[in-house]
Structure 1
Amino acid sequence: MSFEACAGIVERGDPDRFLAVMAAPVAARRILFPIYAFNVEIARAPWVTSEPMIAEMRLQWWRDALEEIALGGTVRRHEVTQTLADVLDVDGARALDRLVAARRWDVYTDAFEDAAHFDEYLDATAGELMWQGARALGAVSREDVMRFARAAGLARYLKAVSALEEKGRLPLLDGRENAIAALAREALKDIARPVPSNPAFLEAWQAEPLLRQIAKEPWRVAQGTVGISPFRAKWRLLRWS
């Protein structure tokens, strides 16, 4: 039942990744659904309360769970942790702690310190998530996966900028249209480079058209209108899978 619970969490909390996993082979779904369900739980932890201390406690709970998985002993009971423990090895559990730690930025309203801090956030969240899924499914080149994942993560992040601003966050170091377009153009160089086939890459199925749209029409980021039609999105997923 834990696997089905993970699939349900992803379907409700991250429908784009849910569609990507459903386009993957059945064996890959057993790996990806627990990892993505974990990500849903972590991503929403800073937003379910207005009290920073409570949000920090929620994130720490997951860091402690990952430590239990890494140690290989008894893991606290939760519909995600039990199945996640079957998927992650020691290195995977330790690496995903980096993802949880990075999400502490979402708890507060501080801006990123500099470009390096922003890149680290994308690497720790989007990058580490894709890498651990890909590694569990046989990928061996971390550098290539992280580069690809960072670009895909930027597309998702820029799509969410308007919503983040509505919640009182300062999501961009430079919100001018020319700066946003430059970010998208740079990411396109990485998303267009070929990477070895792996079901974990399916989550990036919309990244390239989104980045092209942002590079051409950066004003969409502030307006919250970044996106492609459902028909085009599903056509791309069919083409990728």
Structure 2
Amino acid sequence: MNGASSSLRAAFSHCVQQVRNYDYHHYLCLLELPPKMRKAAFALRAFNVETSRAMDVASDPRIGLMRLVWWQEAIDKIYANKLIEHPTAQALASVVSENKISKGWLKRSVEARINDANRDVTDIPENIEELEKYAEDTVSTLLYLTLQAGGIRSTAADHAASHIGKASGLLLLLKALPYHASCNRHFCYIPAKVAANHGLLVKEGGRSEICLDSREGLCNAVFDMASVANVHLLKARELAGTVPNEAHPMLLQAVPAQVLLDSLNRVHFDVFDPRLARGVLGVPPLWYQLKLKWYSWRHKY
């Protein structure tokens, strides 16, 4: 038993380190959770780190896709009580066994990433609703699962989580645009309708492409998308009065979304401005931590 408990402690420590290394702004959010909820939250976030980075760390897209398919199969094994030799999977299996969390949400998040990985670089989303759906399936699902693991059953909390996830997902896609452009992969996180409105959509040989040459047009397109994210944050906060108090710490992930939105506003929605890459989401780390503490202390999000 000691060996098993030691192995599990190592698995959870691995999860914490993964989130700290690759998702620092959310790592700080999770530290504000009550201790009994942190284990599940870190395991779920580490799972998200694994699946969100699968395509980026792979030298060949096919290898990245294989990793995602492996995680899809791993979820089935976890719910079948089969042992998996992977620290994040082991921690996730422990969380699943201790809490009633939906297999469907876990599967949906991986399937959304597989579908995204299978898209051709010229396959541009037609409208922002497609990106909202992607954000819902990959980010909101994490919040739903964390609420479930915390034993919180609240329609209002789920609605708030949906809006926060959509806002966060959209804003992080915007922040990642320079990275995707440098990889010559998935410029297409700008929807065709938004791109066309600002002169960024170029049609050649029957194909449509996003052209990032116009900095003004790109800033205007980013503003349009960020405005949609802002509406989601406002809707989430309108629900605050009906959300149970115990759910508020889990919805603190609205704070990094707001910080990123404010940082984009300061650079006039120029995602290539180097100030966005400084500190934590474009602000000094200490200021970010103080903002989180202030929201947490006031039981707000």
TM-score by length of 2: 0.72
Give, in whole Å, the separation in 2 of the partners of 1:172 and 1:91.
Answer: 33
- Alpha-carbon offset, residue 216 of structure 1: 5.9
Q: Quick check: 1:237 aligned with 2:251? A: no
The answer to whether the Cα contact below 8 Å between 1:35 and 1:84 also exists between their aligned partners in 2 is: yes
In structure 2, the partner of 1:52 is: 61
Structure number with greater Rg is 2
Provide the rounded CA distance (Å) in 1 between the counterparts of 2:146 and 2:124: 27
Shift of 1:161: 1.5
Alignment of 1:113-124 (within 5 A): 113-115=125-127, 116-124=129-137
2:181 pairs with 1:165: yes
Amino acid at match of 1:198: H
Change (3 A) 1:208 1:219: closer
* Runs of 4+ residues deviating >6 angstroms: none
Determine the C-alpha separation between the residues in 1 that align with 2:167 and 2:11. 31
Q: Is 2:163 the partner of 1:147?
A: yes
C-alpha change, 1:16 and 1:25, in structure 2 (3 Å) is same
* Greater Cα shift, 32-41 or 146-155: 146-155
Pick one of 95, 110, 127 that aligns with 2:140. 127
Q: Is the 8 A contact 2:220 2:269 kept in 1?
A: no
| Distance in structure 2 (CA, Å) of the matches to 1:18 and 1:59 | 23
The answer on whether the counterparts of 1:184 and 1:215 sit within 8 Å (CA) in structure 2 is no
> 1:37 offset after TM fit, Å?
0.7
Alpha carbons of 1:199 and 1:112: their partners in 2 closer, same or farther (altered >3 Å)? farther
* Structure 2 gap segments, 5+ residues each: 1-9, 201-217, 277-281, 297-301
2:52/2:113 contact within 8 Å kept: yes
- Partner of residue 49, structure 2: 40
Identity of aligned residues (%): 26
**How far did residue 111 of structure 1 move?**
4.1
C-alpha deviation, 1:61, in angstroms:
0.5
Cα RMSD (Å): 2.2
Three-state SS of the structure 1 residue aligned to 2:87 is: coil
| Residue deviations 1:142-171 (CA, integer Å, cap 9, x gap) | 333111211122222222221121111213
Q: For structure 1, which segment, 211-220 or 164-173, has the greater mean C-alpha deviation from structure 2 after superposition?
A: 211-220
